[in-house]
Amino acid sequence: MDALGVVVNPIAGMGGRVGLKGTDGKVPEARRLGAEPRAPDRARDALRSLHRRGPDVTVYTAAGVLGEHAARDAGFDPEVVYDPATDADTDRQATGVDLDETETTAADTQAAVRAFLERDVDLVLFVGGDGTAVDVAEVLEDESDSKRDSNEYGAGDRTPMLGVPAGVKIYSSVFAVTPADAGRIAAEFDRVETREVNDIDEEAYREGEVRTELKAVVPVPVAPDIQSSKQLSSGSVDSLASGFAREIDDGRTYVFGPGGTVGAIEEELGIDSSPLGVDVWRDGEVLARDAAESDILAVLEDPVTIVVSPIGGQGFVFGRGNHQISPAVIERADELEVVASEEKLDGIDALHVDTDGEDVNEELRGWLRVRTGRFTTRLVKVV
C-alpha cells in the first residue's frame, strides 16, 4: 500500500460508557454525563501499529481531531486534504471556532473521504462505528456509480475501506477486531472481498429493540482479524438460565451485561432487566438498572461477578455494546461468568476482548470456561 486516507469520527463511542448505547443526537447529554472521547486514542493505536510496519506510507487526512492529530502522534507527517474550518460550508468559517471545541458531522467525514478519492488512495481507514461506516460507504458507492456512468469502472476499481472499532454498537463486517489489528491489516493486505455495512436504529435500540438494516456492500481487506456481521439469534437458553439461577450466592454483587442470554438469567431471577443495558443486582435487589459505568462503580460491593454473553457471529465478550462494563469495573470483579448456548458457540471460532485497557485485555486472554447449559461448559480461547 502506497497511500492511505484516514478519517476519525471523534465523538464515536462517547455514549457507551455512560450508558447511552450510542452517540447519535446524544453528544451534549453524553458530555453532561462526563463522557470522554475514545475514538482519538483508538485512532492513534491503529496508526502506530501501521507506522511500525509501513512508516513510508503516504497518509492523507482531515484537520485536527478528524485525523491529523492522531496521524502526527503516530509518527506520520500527514497531508491535510480537508479542513472544516476552511473547506466546509458551515458557520465554523464565520466564527473561527476551533475544531477541537465543536461537534463534527457526517458531512465532514464524507467530505474528507471524497478528498481521499481525488488522491487515489489505496485504502480508506476510518475510526468510528456503524454510522461512520455508512457515511464512508455512501461516498465509495458514489465513486463506483460515477465510474460506471463514465465507462471507467472495472474489476478492482472500487476503493476498499477498513474500520477501526470505536462505536458503541458495531454490526457491520468491515471492522478489524482491534485498533492494532486494523493498523497491521492496512499495512499488509494484498486482496479484498465484499463485506456488509449495517446500521441500527439507535432510538429503538435504547428502548430495547434491535432494528438493523443493510446499507451497503463494500470491498474490505481480506484478513483473519476482520469481525463478522453480528447475528441476532442465540437459540434456547432456558436450561442455562435455570442452572445459573440455582447457583446464585448470597451477598455477592452481580453485574449483568446486555443481550438475550443474560436477560434469560435475569428473568429467571425475577429481575425487570434492561435488555440492551447493564444491570447490577444483589440479594434480590436491583441496585442499578440500565446503568452507566459511574452507576455501576457507585453500587459495587465485594465480592463481584460479571455475567456476559459473547456476541453471536463475532465472539466479543467485552468491547461491543457493553462499554459500561469498563476496565475499572472489570478490575473490581473477582469472578467472570461467560454464558452462551451451544448453538451460539458453534458459530464462533474464538472469543475476543477489546476494552480500552490493554492490561485488562491481556489478563482476559487465554482459555475460558463458558457455561452452555444447566450443567455443561465448554472451553473457548480468548484471543
> Which residue(s) pair with 194 in the sheet?
219
352: enclosing H helix or E strand: strand 352-353
- Residue-level pLDDT at 156: 53
pLDDT band at 111; cut points 50, 70, 90 = very high
Task: Mean pLDDT check: name the lowest of 244-248, 298-302, 329-333, 336-340.
Answer: 244-248
117: enclosing H helix or E strand: helix 106-118
> Which residue(s) pair with 176 in the sheet?
226
Is the predicted pLDDT of residue 47 greater than 80, yes or no?
A: yes
Is the predicted pLDDT of residue 368 greater than 80, yes or no?
A: yes
330: enclosing H helix or E strand: helix 327-332
- Chain centroid to CA 129: 6
Residue pair 21/169 in contact (Cβ under 8 Å)? The answer is yes
Is the predicted pLDDT of residue 379 greater than 80, yes or no?
A: yes
Task: Mean pLDDT check: name the lowest of 82-91, 106-115, 190-199, 305-314.
Answer: 82-91
Percent of the chain exceeding pLDDT 70 equals: 80
pLDDT band at 88; cut points 50, 70, 90 = low
- Residue-level pLDDT at 99: 47
CA pair distance 100, 126, nearest whole angstrom: 18
pLDDT digits (tens, 9 = 90+) for 270-293: 999 998 899 999 999 999 999 999
- Residue-level pLDDT at 72: 97
173: enclosing H helix or E strand: none
pLDDT digits (tens, 9 = 90+) for 156-177: 578 999 999 987 768 888 999 9
Cβ partners under 8 Å of residue 167, min gap 6 = 9, 12, 13, 16, 22, 23, 128, 129, 130, 131, 132
34: enclosing H helix or E strand: none
If you average pLDDT over every residue of the chain, what do you get?
85
- Residue-level pLDDT at 15: 52
| Residue of higher predicted confidence among 250 and 95 | 250
Percent of the chain exceeding pLDDT 90 equals: 57
pLDDT band at 78; cut points 50, 70, 90 = very high
Mean pLDDT across the stretch 142-147? Answer: 70
CA-based radius of gyration for the chain: 21
CA pair distance 219, 215, nearest whole angstrom: 14
Mean pLDDT across the stretch 251-277? Answer: 93
DSSP assignment of 276-324: TS-EEEETTEEEESS--HHHHHHH--SSEEEEE-PPTTT-EEESSS-TT
Q: Which of 193, 243, 248 lies closest to 222 in space, CA to CA?
A: 193
Cell 500527514 belongs to: 78
